[in-house]
Amino acid sequence: MVDGTGAPPARADVAIRGGRVAAVGDLGGERAARTLDVTGRAVTPGFIDIHAHSDEAMLVNGALESALHMGVTTVVNGNCGGSSAPVFGSATDELDRELARFELARSWNTFAEYAAAVERSGVAVNVCSFVGHGTLRASVMGAAARAPSATELAAMGALLDRSLEEGAIGLSSGLIYPPSAYGDTAELASLCGAVRERGALYASHIRNEGPRLLEAVEENLEIGRRSGARVQLSHHKAAGRRSWGLVRESTALVERARADGQDVAADQYPYAASSTGLAVVVPNWVHDGGPLAMCERLRDPAVRARIAAEGVADRVIFVERAADISPYLQASDIFAVPSSREGLSNALLEAMSCGLPCVAAAIPGVTDSVIEAGINGFIVPAGDDRALAATLARLLGDAALYHLTALLVLCAVIVVVIVPLDMRLLRRRVLGE
């Protein structure tokens, strides 16, 4: 049994009565209606997924098996600057559009109304949520790319404070996602005043997780220092080949702050990939006014030329099946696996028209439309994984290194495992050991 208190693992029986833990210890003498023999396994309380994005998914499927099957019994939503509540003004339009994709209708504005709606819909796990900084901004000032007026900042603060009173666990920011990205350090530190007063938490998807990671971590710490709020560094990572290794320094920054007495923590994924919306490759200024304004703006060839000139991403890779080329995907800065052919087609055309170098596993229909549009890209015949791998290798330039590494690992396995096995076999045969 690993009880979650930090105590060392121990052997124990656990008794459950009415859905609650009734006793823990040596219960060999007790009788039970049902006994589960879990010898050799670990028994723990439910896990808390501190960084979930099940905001809408749990309303579609309240069973949330994807969480439960991993032992997760509490999910924390509202991360990365976006939450389902509180929503007013243009935040309601954004949310309604999002909910419409799942044929859901919104019945709330305030956080308390939202919590009641979640309760009514019935979710199998415990749920809590941050208030998204982007959601606050959208509620009060739309998706405007500017600093808030004093009145707007006060309105955001009041909305946050009320939501914290109604059960929200803190404030989250997503500083790569407009409109949250339009907020500066002072604005966030000011809002975090309410977070500190309520003993809540400030969790941030920081402003940069690539070459400017250290600056972004510093900003996160600064917001905590200025406001006195507890700070969480969400999904800590260094993304993109050029930035690999920076986490050593960023971790040192966090450790130093902790040693100085600041209440700051970080979390990370247990895997070496990340995912987000393709819109992040489009610079912040293009997002001014929200997604619809951005789409309108993208029609202008001059805007697209300016985006291309800013060099927003090294490359974008689109594939239908990620498994075939996973080694290459790891070495790439950005890739996407849209869930539908239509989505792939649109995303590919969009990315290419923004001047992003693209690689795509050709998919019938998609290829034709791209070629018809006369846009440059790298198209590989459908189903030809080898050709796709070769194209990726050429573009990424480090395939030789990858193959060499794979070969070295294989050699090491042969030397370490297979050769000693053989020697043992030989000795047994020859010496009769």
Binding site for Zn ion (CB under 5 A): 80, 205
Cβ pair 194, 224 in contact under 8 A: no
CB of 80 to Zn ion, least distance (A): 3
Q: Which is nearer to Zn ion, 52 or 348 (CB)?
A: 52
The whole-angstrom separation of Cα 217 and Cα 236 is: 9
CB of 266 to Zn ion, least distance (A): 13
Residues 6+ positions from 76 with CB-CB distance below 8 Å: 48, 49, 50, 51, 52, 128, 129, 130, 169
The whole-angstrom separation of Cα 184 and Cα 224 is: 14
CB of 223 to Zn ion, least distance (A): 16
Backbone angles phi, psi at 335, to 5 degrees: -145, 170
Q: Which is nearer to Zn ion, 126 or 268 (CB)?
A: 268
Q: Which is nearer to Zn ion, 246 or 348 (CB)?
A: 246
| The residue to which tokens 């052919």 are assigned | 341
Cβ pair 59, 53 in contact under 8 A: no
The whole-angstrom separation of Cα 399 and Cα 215 is: 32
Q: Which is nearer to Zn ion, 207 or 230 (CB)?
A: 207
CB of 121 to Zn ion, least distance (A): 25
Cβ pair 111, 131 in contact under 8 A: yes
Q: Which is nearer to Zn ion, 276 or 353 (CB)?
A: 276
Q: Which is nearer to Zn ion, 277 or 383 (CB)?
A: 277
Q: Which is nearer to Zn ion, 223 or 325 (CB)?
A: 223
CB of 205 to Zn ion, least distance (A): 3
CB of 126 to Zn ion, least distance (A): 21
Query: How many C-beta atoms surround the C-beta of residue 251 within 10 A?
Result: 15
Q: Which is nearer to Zn ion, 205 or 237 (CB)?
A: 205
Q: According to the 3-state scheme, what is the secondary structure of 167-217?
A: CCCEEEEECCCCCHHHCCHHHHHHHHHHHHHCCCEEEEECCCCCCCHHHHH
Report the relative pairing of strands 13-17 and 20-25 from DSSP bridges.
Answer: antiparallel
Look at the chain and count its residues.
433
CB of 246 to Zn ion, least distance (A): 17
Sheet of 264-266, strands arranged across:
131-132, 170-174, 201-205, 230-233, 264-266
CB of 145 to Zn ion, least distance (A): 20
Which SS3 state, helix, strand or coil, does residue 37 take? coil
